[in-house]
């Protein structure tokens, strides 16, 4: 009887650990978001947050007023730099994989402001 209780507790403990650990995709997403997080500091006041949609799209939330106040060259440089960080982060999380990567810049209510794509 004691052996059966011990076995039942071991099974329950194993299930709890298995269910509470993040999946491989969640770990990859977390690593990718951590890799692009410094862009919030670099573009303080413009890039407000990041999210990953589908396995190959990075969503960048913008403060639209600050974004519109930037000159065209600064906007283009920010977009290229963000795409470059995303390519590097995605490549590190998905070694030897290839995909069309997208960066979608949105305003605070989710409207698309700009979008860039690149093959990796």
- Report the number of distinct structural domains present in the chain: 1
Q: What is the DSSP string of 79-105?
A: HHHHHHHHHHHHHHHSTT---EEEEEE
Instruction: Give the model confidence (pLDDT) of 40-87 as tens digits.
Output: 999 999 999 999 998 899 999 999 999 999 999 999 999 999 999 999
Which structural domain, as residue segments, surrounds residue 86? 23-119
* Predicted pLDDT of residue 12: 54
* pLDDT surpasses 80 at 97: yes
Q: Is residue 18 part of a domain?
A: no
What are the phi and psi torsion angles at 49 (to 5°)? -175, 165
The residue count for the chain: 120
* Predicted pLDDT of residue 60: 98
* pLDDT surpasses 60 at 6: no
Instruction: Give the model confidence (pLDDT) of 7-46 as tens digits.
Output: 556 555 555 555 567 888 899 899 999 999 999 999 999 9
Q: Is residue 15 part of a domain?
A: no
Stretch 89-100: mean pLDDT: 94
Q: Is residue 1 part of a domain?
A: no
Question: What's the CATH number where 35 sits?
Answer: 3.30.300
Residues 6+ apart with CB under 8 A from 5: none
């Amino acid at each position: 009887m004691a052996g059966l209780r011990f076995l039942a507790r071991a099974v329950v403990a194993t299930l709890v650990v298995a269910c509470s650990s993040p999946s491989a995709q969640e770990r990859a997403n977390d690593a990718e978001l951590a890799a692009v997080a410094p862009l919030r500091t670099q573009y303080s006041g413009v890039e407000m947050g990041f999210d990953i949609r589908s396995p190959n799209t990075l969503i960048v939330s913008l403060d639209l007023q600050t974004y519109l106040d930037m000159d065209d060259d600064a906007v283009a440089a920010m977009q290229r730099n963000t795409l470059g960080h995303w390519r590097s982060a995605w490549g590190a999380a998905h070694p030897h994989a290839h995909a069309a990567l997208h960066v979608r810049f949105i305003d605070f209510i989710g409207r698309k402001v700009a979008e860039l794509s690149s093959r990796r």
